[in-house]
Amino acid sequence: MSGVQISVEGLNRSFGGVSAVQDVSFTVGTSEIHGLCGHNGAGKSTVVKMLSGQLAPDSGRIVIGGQPVVLGSRQAAQRLGVALVDQELSVVPELTVRDNLLLGDFRAPLLNRRRAAIARCRQVLSDMRLDRIRPQQPLSELSIGERQLVEVARALSQNARLVILDEPTATLSDVETEHVFTAIRRVAAQGCSVIFVSHRLSEVLELCDTVTVLRDGHKIATTPASELTVGNLIVQMLGEVPHRLTAARAPDPRPGHSLRIERLHVPGRLTDFSLTAQAGRVYALAGQLGSGASDVLRALAGLHPQATGTVELRDRAVPFRSPVGAARAGVAFASNDRKSEGLFLDEPIAANLLATRLPTLARAGVLSPRCEHQVARSLAELVGIADHRLGEPAAVLSGGNQQKVFVGRSLGRDDVYALLLDEPTRGVDIGGRAAIHRLLRAAADAGLIVLFASTELEELLELGDVIITMRETRMVARYEGGADGVVLMRDMTRGERTA
Amino acid sequence: MTAANNDHSPVMAAARDYPGGQASADTVRPTPTSAAGAAGRFLLWRGTDPLDIGIVIVVLAVIVTGALTTRFFSVANARAILASTSWVGITAIGATVVMIAGSAVSLAVSQTATVVAMIFLATQQFGLAAAIVLALLSGVAITALQGAVIGFWTANPIVLTIAAGFAIGGVATWISGGTTVYPQVVRFNGLNDTPLGLPLAVYILLALTAAAQWFLRRTTAGRHMYLIGENPRAARAAGVPVGRVTVIAWAIFGACIALTGVFLAAFNTSANAGLGGTLSLDAIAAVLAGGTAIGGGKGSALRTLGGALLISAISDLLLLRGFSTGIQLLVKGLLVGFVVIAVHVSSTRGRR
């Protein structure tokens, strides 16, 4: 490490009066690999967006190579030597590998883009042991992991002064991850600065020279990686470690119904998941994107037709390869994608509350408006929405109220035995979150099996009677009572290579 | 399960104990009205739409121009408009159901109506009732089969029905040998009766509109159609039987097409391959002119009746004022285009 190449000084940014990043400063030297860590909502993404020209800071400045710069757009940032690998794939499957590698590279000449650029791409591909990928190959022939590698290769091939990698390994296998690391080390050795953002803490410690930790928009510390362990990194990230406040519920001694999942398997997404869930308790699946936590729920709801295994609810087999079969067996599912896979936004709130229970309200397929209205009103009261709003379209509600309607849709039915929720409070304010947690607890108390997936420690600890941690498509561990945030975090983020 | 049971379910009871839930429910409590009135209020919402202002303007323009046109406002002319609406209208009611359920349109309607008409004429010797039943069954079977491919295998309805249209037309030509089909005996004269001066088909159209309106709003299958049309992914994830409901929608469509085919056959007393004419597109135009959304999830049978009547009234008006058929077609095209744009504008404004 020699000389400061990138320097971030007193960055501030707020959204609608809520501060997302406050007075963040750090420097990255030439050839330095700098880790950026923080829990959900710590401000990592905002910092990355400001450094890559996607967001303008409210105040503070960014200095590259001694020059204060204004990064007005991603193009402007690229011109100043900043390359970004985004969380979401931004490669085009229809194009060839070569065209993807040249995509958005303004230095590639319009005509005769071949020679120099191709040579550079080949170099990077072979650095990453990707010689098996031919430049002429359409990207659609590659696996998701390989596509991610191509995206990383694109950023690394741009001769940038700063390469930012935002969760580049979330979807990669160990071997692929190693190849990416080799390529990153190589560009760093050539004098490039690297900022590496990841949830996988052991990887951060393995790869990075220095680690900056953010929490609630503030910088907590910048520490040489050699002085850090996964344990104290987690403490920096979480601050006061959240512990469970209420004791976990004791298992209900009554022989209620149960949900037995045996060796549930979804190719590439979930590996041999087994669990027996009892009525009256809340089961939390803790896992980051790609851990398989939400795939457990989706498979049970019939949304993974290629899933295999055995699922029994109340000692009857659940036909979990179709959503209709799963619903008929008594499984109700709330997706994490409320807008496109959840609510019927242009339909009235009343229609949304009743959407999945119409057959239970009908006599011989015929509905009575009177009975519908009664049920809609009692559900509105249950979820806390004024009944004069029942005729308004669901789209006008706030995110929190939409989520209440979404959850309320599955409550108060005597043909539902298991309630599955993927990220039940995503995009919901604190008040709404508490209300939804109360609804779910009440549902469990009323004898439902409640199973939810979440990435938020507070939510997992507050709501889960049993917490199951997941990582890389597999279950890691199961906790009943006495779980603490550090342990969950370690399980979810690959604290150690062997769990 | 009835609503009363539901109200006593444990979850409801448990939630009522929460102070939070109670408070927000108490803040706004409208004065108690009759349950039926309140129900009507929340079901009415779907009807109020900025688009309606546009339609009202068109209707007013027709009324004003009509008042300035001799013979437009006369009982005889009103009968003529109703009569010319009836055949297309019956098919359009079926097309409405399919469009609301998110399957867009069928381009195989003319051919299906032609085949059904041929079957109806060819089976006259078994009696009128048997011929009608056979005609309906074949219309339902042909159309529901297409619905199954669309509902269960998510085929594109436009592509599929273009293919089906060719296949059905081909079979019709093949079986009839490319000639006109005549009945052996004529038992269908009763279908051409005009009680109270209106063709029987008009009464069928009105009854069908009322039945479809009731079906869409008051039955589980009908309400599922709105949900599937509005957001098919959400409907699937919620366990709504998307495939089955889609088949039901297309079966209803098939029955409506078959009814039109029967009336066409009875009126013409013979059927050749061109009998269906432009029925496919006329039906789509009527549904769209009524303001039912091509993307699904919004619309009603009543709207389609209005749309079909509006198109007939405008054609009639242009005819009375001496405009050519070409101008009539042009105005029909402009009207449909106007409504489609208005629907698009009003639905994108609603969604932020």
Q: Given B24, B227, B236, which is nearest A323 (Cβ)?
A: B236
User: What confidence score (pLDDT) does residue B23 get?
Assistant: 35
User: What confidence score (pLDDT) does residue B99 get?
Assistant: 96
Tell me if residue A252 falls in helix, strand or coil.
coil
Token digits of residue B229: 């049309």
Q: Given B28, B234, B242, which is nearest A344 (Cβ)?
A: B234
User: What confidence score (pLDDT) does residue B94 get?
Assistant: 97
- CB environment A348-370: b (16+ within 10 A), e (fewer): bbbbbbbbbbbbbbbeeeebbbe
Question: How far apart (Å, rounded) are the C-alpha atoms in residues A77 and B226?
Answer: 47
- Chain B hits for A361, CB-CB cut-off 8 Å, are 1-3, 6
Q: Given B12, B35, B41, which is nearest A391 (Cβ)?
A: B41
Rounded percentage of chain A residues whose pLDDT exceeds 70: 90
- Chain B hits for A395, CB-CB cut-off 8 Å, are 350-352
- Chain A hits for B13, CB-CB cut-off 8 Å, are 446
| Tens-place pLDDT, residues B224-278 | 999 999 999 999 999 999 999 999 999 999 999 999 999 999 999 989 888 888 8
For residue B44, pLDDT over 50 is answered with no
Question: Where do the domains of chain A lie?
Answer: 2-238, 258-492
User: What confidence score (pLDDT) does residue A251 get?
Assistant: 53
When pLDDT is averaged across residues B198-216 and rounded to a whole number, the result is: 95
Cβ of A341 within 8 Å of Cβ of B21? The answer is no
User: What confidence score (pLDDT) does residue A494 get?
Assistant: 67
| Tens-place pLDDT, residues B102-153 | 998 999 999 999 999 999 999 999 999 999 999 999 999 999 999 999 999 9
For residue B350, pLDDT over 50 is answered with no
Residue A41's nearest CA partner among A423, A483, A488, A455 is: A455
Cβ of A382 within 8 Å of Cβ of B351? The answer is no
Cβ of B40 within 8 Å of Cβ of A369? The answer is yes
Closest-CA distance of chain B to residue A419, Å: 12
User: What confidence score (pLDDT) does residue B308 get?
Assistant: 94
Query: CB of A131 within 8 A of CB of A149?
Result: no
Q: Taking CA atoms, what residue in B is nearest to A349?
A: B42
So what CATH class is A2-238? alpha beta
- Chain B hits for A340, CB-CB cut-off 8 Å, are 231, 233-234
User: What confidence score (pLDDT) does residue B39 get?
Assistant: 41
Domains and CATH numbers, chain B: 79-350 (1.10.3470)
Interface of B with A in 203-232 (CB under 8 A): 218-221, 223-224, 226-227, 230-231
Interface of B with A in 291-330 (CB under 8 A): 297-298
Query: CB of B227 within 8 A of CB of B240?
Result: yes
Question: How far apart (Å, rounded) are the C-alpha atoms in residues A217 and A234?
Answer: 16
Name residues whose C-beta falls within 8 Å of residue A201's C-beta, 6 or more positions apart in sequence.
A37, A230, A233, A234, A490, A493, A494, A495
For residue A408, pLDDT over 70 is answered with yes
At residue A220, what are phi and psi to the nearest 5 degrees?
-90, -50
- Chain B hits for A392, CB-CB cut-off 8 Å, are 45
Closest-CA distance of chain B to residue A431, Å: 10
Q: pLDDT confidence of B8, banded at 50, 70, 90? A: very low
- Chain A hits for B221, CB-CB cut-off 8 Å, are 365
pTM summary value: 0.75
Question: How far apart (Å, rounded) are the C-alpha atoms in residues A381 and A412?
Answer: 12
Alpha helices in A10-61 (DSSP H): 44-51
Rounded percentage of chain A residues whose pLDDT exceeds 90: 30
- Chain B hits for A252, CB-CB cut-off 8 Å, are none
Cβ of B218 within 8 Å of Cβ of A345? The answer is no
- Chain A hits for B347, CB-CB cut-off 8 Å, are 346
Closest-CA distance of chain A to residue B218, Å: 5
With vertex at residue A352, the alpha carbon angle to CA A347 and CA A353, rounded to the nearest 5 degrees, is 150
First-last CA distance in chain B: 37
Query: CB of A450 within 8 A of CB of A281?
Result: yes
When pLDDT is averaged across residues A81-94 and rounded to a whole number, the result is: 78
Strand A474-480, strand A466-471: pairing: antiparallel
Q: Which range is most confident: B179-183, B228-232, B334-338? A: B228-232
User: What confidence score (pLDDT) does residue A480 get?
Assistant: 86
User: What confidence score (pLDDT) does residue A235 get?
Assistant: 82
Q: Given B14, B15, B220, which is nearest A359 (Cβ)?
A: B220
Distances (CA, A) of A375 to A218, A381, A387, B6: 47, 10, 11, 7
Strand ordering across the sheet containing A2-15: A18-30, A2-15, A59-64, A67-69
> By mean pLDDT, which of A308-317, A393-402, A412-421 is the weakest?
A393-402
Closest-CA distance of chain A to residue B350, Å: 8
Neighbours of B69 (CB within 10 A): 15
For residue A106, pLDDT over 80 is answered with no
In this complex, is the C-beta atom of B31 within 8 Å of any C-beta atom belonging to chain A?
Answer: no
More confident residue, A65 or B45: A65
Q: pLDDT confidence of B192, banded at 50, 70, 90? A: confident
For residue A366, pLDDT over 70 is answered with yes
| Tens-place pLDDT, residues A202-246 | 888 989 999 999 988 899 989 999 998 888 888 888 776 655 545
User: What confidence score (pLDDT) does residue B137 get?
Assistant: 97
- Do the domains spanning A2-238 and A258-492 agree at the CATH topology level? yes
Q: Given A369, A384, A443, which is nearest B25 (Cβ)?
A: A384
Closest-CA distance of chain A to residue B34, Å: 10
**Mean pLDDT score of chain A, rounded to an integer?**
84
For the domain spanning A258-492, the CATH number is: 3.40.50.300
Cβ of B21 within 8 Å of Cβ of A382? The answer is yes
- Chain A hits for B6, CB-CB cut-off 8 Å, are 360-361, 374-375, 378, 412-414
Query: CB of B210 within 8 A of CB of B304?
Result: no
Residue whose pair of structure tokens reads 């690999």 in the numeric block = A33
| Tens-place pLDDT, residues B16-37 | 333 333 333 333 333 333 444 4
